[in-house]
Amino acid sequence: MFFLKKFFLTLIFFFTLASSSVLAQDQDADILFFWGQGCPHCEEEKIFLQSLQQKYPDIKINNYEIHLPENNQLLRQMGKKLNADVSGIPFTIIGDQYVAGFLSDETTGAQIEQALTSAPIQTLRTLQLPLIGTINVKNFSLPLLTFVVALLDGFNPCAMWTLFFLINLLLGLKDRRRMWILGATFIVASSFVYFLFLSAWLNLFLFLGFLPWVKIIVGLVALISGSYYLKEYLVNKNATCKVTGSQKRQKVFTRLRVITQKKQLALALIGIILLAFVVNLVELVCSAGLPAVYTQILTLTPLPSWQYYLYLIFYILIFMLDDLFIFFVAMTTLKAVGLDSKYARYSHLIGGILMVTIGLLMLFKPELLMFG
């Protein structure tokens, strides 16, 4: 992480980035400062604004604590007026300009002062990357967290057993083209279902994100889920899925066998897609903890809406890595492969430790999970 941070900060030196809007204001402009209890970046900006007011005595700073409903509503109204994403705090408005988040006096503070004085101050707060877009220089840990959580989530035994059985059925077909099409369709449909599931969590937390009790509930969910994973590591030596029992699996196996043997490819594809939806909806019961906690952490970071969904796509890609590996190896070698149960078991151990840690941080030190 130190090397990555140093590398990105070196790149930032070669970029000059504008602030959130282009209009400048007089020194007499009012500052609207939206903040929240428990937000460390808000406390840092408070100190900066106090020093700024000493430097420019004519400015007036209006403070709005967003846990008050009327202040929350005002923030959303100002966001619509400025066409700005107001899902993160602190959020500072100077006339027609706004600054989201607070990094340091030298970066974000310079943006705020620039809005007051019209001075052409250059900032080193963000970096423009191909495909990803503009990112905050302190957001480097969020991609890493996404990778780790999604990888652990992907090793969930409930998410793999249907694919194993489908591969065994496909290997019995003589038409290799049909094998590839049916298998790939199942994986794509499963990915889409999971994306919808993550999007639902994301939008729920974006809607409720300003409410302090949400962090408490998610923290407790993380602690309970983490404890369950640790218990599974100690008790469930074979890492079998308890949600989808033998009877449910037998019904799915029967349907898969009927679907793969249909002569018309179109009917087989429709059946595979519908079954993927049904199976994955059942499996979500097994893996609701990790996605819920991850999306809550994601919403703590102020980002444009499209970047939230880009993180979800990245999550899905990592989540499906093990399925893709198993499928491509099986289709290439014409031999069924699988991951030893010990990998799923160790994912319970690592996931349990990670979830318990996140749960404790969410309850007692939520600022450490704010990457923006």
CATH number assigned to the domain comprising residue 58: 3.40.30.10
Write b or e for each residue in 263-286: b if 16 or more Cβ atoms lie within 10 A of its Cβ, otherwise e.
Answer: eeeeebbebbbebbeebbebbbee
Please check whether residues 229 and 257 belong to one and the same domain: yes
Please check whether residues 216 and 70 belong to one and the same domain: no
What's 36's DSSP letter? Answer: -
Please check whether residues 220 and 276 belong to one and the same domain: yes
Q: What is the pLDDT along the chain (372 residues), one digit of tens a residue?
A: 433 333 333 333 333 232 333 333 333 458 999 998 888 889 999 999 999 888 888 788 999 999 888 888 899 888 888 888 887 889 999 888 888 888 888 888 888 888 877 543 333 344 444 444 554 545 557 888 899 888 888 876 665 666 777 787 777 777 888 889 888 898 898 889 889 989 998 988 887 755 667 778 888 887 888 788 788 788 876 656 654 455 666 676 677 777 777 778 888 888 888 878 877 776 666 666 788 888 988 887 777 788 899 999 999 999 888 888 888 888 888 776 655 556 567 767 777 787 788 888 878 877 667 665
pTM score, whole prediction: 0.57
Please check whether residues 202 and 116 belong to one and the same domain: no
Write out the residue range of the structural domain in which residue 79 sits.
15-135
DSSP annotation string for 352-371: HHHHHHHHHHHHH-GGGG--
Q: Does 72 fall in a domain? A: yes
Instruction: Name the domain boundary from 77, 112, 135.
Output: 135
Output the CA torsion sign for 213, 214, 220, 224.
positive
Q: In angstroms, rounded to a whole number, what is the distance separating the alpha carbons of residues 117 and 26?
A: 6
Please check whether residues 110 and 158 belong to one and the same domain: no
Please check whether residues 248 and 126 belong to one and the same domain: no
Please check whether residues 339 and 354 belong to one and the same domain: yes
CB-CB neighbours of 227 under 10 Å: 14
Please check whether residues 200 and 330 belong to one and the same domain: yes
Please check whether residues 151 and 217 belong to one and the same domain: yes
Residues sharing a CB contact under 8 Å with residue 69, sequence separation 6 or more, in sequence order: none
pLDDT for the residue 313: 95
Which of helix, strand or coil describes residue 132?
coil
Residues in the chain: 372
Please check whether residues 200 and 341 belong to one and the same domain: yes
Q: Residue 121 is which amino acid? A: I
Rg of the chain taking only CA atoms, in angstroms: 25
Q: Does 9 fall in a domain? A: no
Strand ranges for the chain from DSSP E: 30-35, 60-65, 91-94, 97-100, 126-129, 133-136
Q: Does 156 fall in a domain? A: yes
Please check whether residues 278 and 170 belong to one and the same domain: yes
Residues sharing a CB contact under 8 Å with residue 299, sequence separation 6 or more, in sequence order: 87, 202, 205, 206, 209, 308
- Describe the strand order of the beta sheet including 91-94 as a list of residue ranges: 60-65, 30-35, 91-94, 97-100
Nearest to 286 by CA among 338, 348, 363, 341: 348
For residue 302, say if its preceding peptide bond is cis, omega within 30 degrees of 0. Answer: no
How many structural domains comprise the chain? 2
Instruction: Return the biggest CA–CA distance within the chain.
Output: 81
Residues sharing a CB contact under 8 Å with residue 351, sequence separation 6 or more, in sequence order: 152, 153, 226, 229, 290
Q: Does 150 fall in a domain? A: yes
